[in-house]
Amino acid sequence: MLELEDVVTTYGAVRALDGVSLTVPDGTITAVLGANGAGKTTLLRSVNGLVRPRSGRIRYAGKDLTRTKVDNVVRAGIAHVPEGRGVITELTVEENLRLGALWRRNRRETQASLTEVYGMFPPLAERRNRSADTLSGGERQMLAVSRALMSRPKLLLLDEPSLGLAPRVTAQIMATLRRLRERQSLTVVLVEQNARSALSVADQAIVLNLGRVVASGAASELAADEKLRHAYLGF
């Protein structure tokens, strides 16, 4: 279980997160919604240690992560798929994937994970020795998600997986997330501007505005709340 308690994260004078509390139960998908600049990405960056919260507490599986550095957060079982350019284009597809599993240091496990993600995303298997530069936007997103899965995370932080993708590809990625939750009881925090597709896979959701939580609840409830949809979600 991931717990955020009154987290405040600032960039200079800007309070990007202004007292956010959130509980993500194991094996669920939680959508974090809101407009540009609402603090969604900062929330993920605070959890994984890329930025240090100014106050508040972040706990995962009973451990306090508030002051943990990013390279140790991964080792606690939390993988992060960053927005946009998460794929290292100078490396090949397979090198990108191997990086995802590197800190496990077990060849056999790495090989098993590789087989698994290639099975999940066959286009990656075909291009395994090509430079990641040659992949399309959708394939890059697949690669970024696969690479995060290579570490066999218990918690997956996904930042805008639908950004710039065709709706069909977005649907494919959402379906994969749901499958993973069912099969491996993966916990997912999904940051999205595309509220409609995020709510369609999520169990619960929060809506951020200017660093504060303005709404939270079951995904189906939020999707049914017409006022909220008009005010913050844009559909």
Partner 1 sequence: MFRFLNLTLNGVSLGMIYAAVALALVMIWRATRIVNFAQGGMLMFTTFIAWDLAQRHHINYWVALAVAVGAGLVIGAVAERLLVRPVENGPPLNAVIVTLGLLIFLQALAGMIWGNAQAHSYSPAYSIVGYSAGDRTLLFSPNDVYIVTAVLIVVVVLYLLFQRTSLGLQMRAAAFSPEVARLLGVRVGRLLTLGWAIAAALGALAGILAAGTQTGYVQTVGPFDALLVYGFTAAVIGGLDSPIGAVIGGLLLGIVLSYADSYVSNNIQTMYAFLILIAVLMVRPNGLFSRSAARRV
Interaction site with partner 1 (CB under 8 A): 48, 50, 70-71, 74-75, 80, 82, 85-88, 90-91, 95, 98-100, 102-103, 105, 147, 151
What minimum distance in Å lies between the beta carbon of 4 and partner 1?
19
What minimum distance in Å lies between the beta carbon of 130 and partner 1?
15
With respect to partner 1, which residue has the nearer C-beta, 48 or 66?
48
Query: What is the residue-wise DSSP string for the chain?
Result: -EEEEEEEEEETTEEEEEEEEEEE-TT-EEEEE-STTSSHHHHHHHHTTSS--SEEEEEETTEE-TT--HHHHHHTTEEEE-SS--S-TTSBHHHHHHHHTGGG--HHHHHHHHHHHHHH-HHHHHTTTSBGGGS-HHHHHHHHHHHHHTT--SEEEEE-TTTT--HHHHHHHHHHHHHHHHHH--EEEEE-S-HHHHHHH-SEEEEEETTEEEEEEEHHHHHH-HHHIIIII--
With respect to partner 1, which residue has the nearer C-beta, 150 or 207?
150
With respect to partner 1, which residue has the nearer C-beta, 150 or 222?
150
What minimum distance in Å lies between the beta carbon of 147 and partner 1?
7
With respect to partner 1, which residue has the nearer C-beta, 2 or 228?
2
What minimum distance in Å lies between the beta carbon of 140 and partner 1?
12
